[in-house]
Amino acid sequence: MHPFKILTAVAAPLPMMNVDTDMIIPKQFLRTIKRTGLGKYLFSEMRYEASGAEKPDFVLNKPAYRRAEILIADENFGCGSSREHAPWALNDFGIRCVIAPSFADIFHGNSFKNGMCPVKLPREQVLQLMARATDYPDQPITVDLEAQEVRAGNLVFPFTIDPFRRHCLLNGLDDIGLTLQHEGDITAFETKRKNERPWL
């Protein structure tokens, strides 16, 4: 998992409440257990016509936001079913951070486990960032996990991340990475157990 420390990137405004996981990655694309290849299906029903042609009005189809790495959304982002494919699709598209006033609990947890930083800010601050991203799409926003700040021009908004989750993001540690931090102890235990109980 790639560490997340300071991200300065284009932010795409998505002024919608209750964006559920079926909107993020529709159910017909859940056949895979791979974390790659889902970015092209992200927000599929909002991004594409039935013919497969892009809908030019959708934010991620607009030239200014095609390379967005930050998404700014409204209340209750990631609600609905508990599919881990939702953060996989966002990540595969290139979104590394979602800023919103609130998140569904399971999506929130899955984001951290997949190297994404979900940032909760008061709604009035989110709306300010959304307006700025709309008015100045060429001016990036900075999400600084080390300082726990979002910076955009003269706007500086502090946020708080659970210390353990912050540690994991800063160091690029998923569940496997956390386990491997104890590889020496695990190897020593296995060697000792094998010597003491060779019949096991």
Helix (H, G, I), strand (E, B) or coil at 50: coil
180 assigned to some structural domain: no
Establish if 192 belongs to a structural domain.
no
The total number of structural domains that make up the chain: 1
Is residue 74 domain-resident?
yes
Is residue 52 domain-resident? yes
- Residue 49 lies inside a defined structural domain of this protein: yes
CB hemisphere CA count around 46 (13 angstroms): 18
Would you say residue 132 lies in a domain?
yes
Output the tens digit of pLDDT for each of the chain's 200 residues: 889 999 999 999 999 999 999 999 988 877 777 777 899 999 999 999 999 999 999 999 999 999 999 999 999 999 988 788 999 999 999 999 999 999 999 999 999 999 999 999 999 999 999 999 999 999 999 999 999 999 999 999 999 999 999 999 999 887 666 666 667 766 767 767 778 788 76
CATH number at 32 reads 3.20.19.10
Q: Do residues 61 and 47 make contact, with C-beta atoms less than 8 angstroms apart? A: yes
Q: Please, are residues 152 and 8 in contact by the beta-carbon 8 Å criterion?
A: no
3-class secondary-structure state, position 152:
strand
| Residue range of the domain that includes 136 | 6-173
Q: At a CB cut-off of 8 Å and minimum separation 6, what does 184 contact?
A: none
Q: Is residue 143 part of a domain?
A: yes
